Amino acid sequence: MRNSVISYLFFIFLSLCVIPGYAQTTSLKPGFDREEFLELLKVSSRQGDSLYNPNLPAPEKFQKIYRSSEMGLDNRWDLWVNKDNTACISIRGTTTKQLSWLDNFYAAMVPAAGSLKLSNDFLFNYNLSNDHRSAVHAGWLIATAYLSQDILPKIDSLYNSGYRNFYIMGHSQGGAISYLLTALLLQQQKTGGIPAEIKFKTYCSAAPKPGNLYFAYDFENMTKGGWALTVTNAADWVPQAPFSIQTAGDFVELSPFANAREVIRKQPFLKRMVMTKVYNSLDKPTDKANKKFQKYLGKNLEVYIRKVLPEFESPEYVNSNNYVRTGQQIVLYPNEEYFKIFPQDKSSIWINHAFEPYLFLTSSY
């Protein structure tokens, strides 16, 4: 009942926003647009508690009409609209709270399609990819589960009010979640859960790697033509995280690496002995490191997840830690002027990751 009342009030408020000047709709265009991204960076910077600097310029074309409560692992999102009947779903990045960092560190991989039990009354059935080999970051999947519960009804309300164009924008952790949210929405659109005429365009700014190579392949195929952009400052370390470990098991089945042991077994005895020793010296260290990452960033962190979500059940983990860059890459290269404005100091690890350097580099892109 309470949710119905909230949805009704939201719809009334939205209707009041659709004044004559708002009635025109401009269709979204694919590809990187510098001015578009600068405006969305300003939208993202107004979250208020994630890399926030009140002196940054405010958005010029968008106005905020909704801010969600905090949910999941300290996740939140804002909803903005402009006069072209275009909405922006702005996903908050990491905050200073330990819970928000737990979201990042819970980095074991889980299947990109399946079910995730978050509580006795919340079973998240999801599909982010039709490739059965796809896997994604566990913590950001939990965030996507909670946020999507709140976002989907708002998309429906906006659609009923005439909105057909949606940006999905996130900086840092918000960018990582934006990958997964975009994949979820596009998959639902394929099955008719979201109207086909809605267009989604995603900007993942300063975003870490969201999943494995097969998720990246499928995501880039779903958004091909410039509908999902990943904007990276080449001096920023966050897009290089999480750690990536590639093992023989990460290769496609038709490869010499995936079938190496079988090939070695067919060799003559002495040759087989030498090849086995060499192969083991190369394969075992990465396999061992992969298992350690799964243990420490998966099973061991479940204890802390359950302190927040006591009915959370351990998901099925994927035997991989092969995180890769995802989306169409837009690389912002620092120049001499940049390093004068943002001097590199080992004690200031966030200097290249904040909104200021991204705004600076984008302005001169």
Written as tens digits, the pLDDT of the chain (365 aa) is 545 545 445 544 554 444 333 445 578 999 999 999 999 999 999 987 766 677 889 999 999 999 999 999 999 999 999 999 999 999 999 999 999 999 999 999 999 999 999 999 999 999 999 999 999 999 999 999 999 999 999 999 999 999 999 999 999 999 999 999 999 999 999 999 999 999 999 999 999 999 999 999 999 999 999 999 999 999 999 999 999 999 888 888 887 776 777 777 888 877 777 677 776 777 788 888 888 888 989 999 999 999 999 999 999 999 999 999 999 999 999 999 999 999 999 999 999 999 999 999 999 99
* Domain range summary for the chain, segments of one domain joined by +: 2-245+319-363
Task: Tell me which residue has tokens 């001499």.
Answer: 336
Q: Rounded to two decimals, what is the model's pTM?
A: 0.90
Cis upstream peptide for 239 (omega within 30°): no
Superfamily of domain 2-245+319-363: Alpha/Beta hydrolase fold, catalytic domain (3.40.50.1820)
Distance between CA atoms of residues 41 and 359, nearest Å: 7
Report the amino acid identity of residue 59.
Answer: P
Distance between CA atoms of residues 234 and 231, nearest Å: 10
- Cβ within 8 Å of residue 91, ≥6 positions away: 75, 77, 147, 168, 169, 170, 174, 175, 177, 178, 181
Distance between CA atoms of residues 82 and 94, nearest Å: 26
Distance between CA atoms of residues 319 and 290, nearest Å: 8
Nearest Cα to 299, choosing from 100, 106, 137, 117?
A: 106
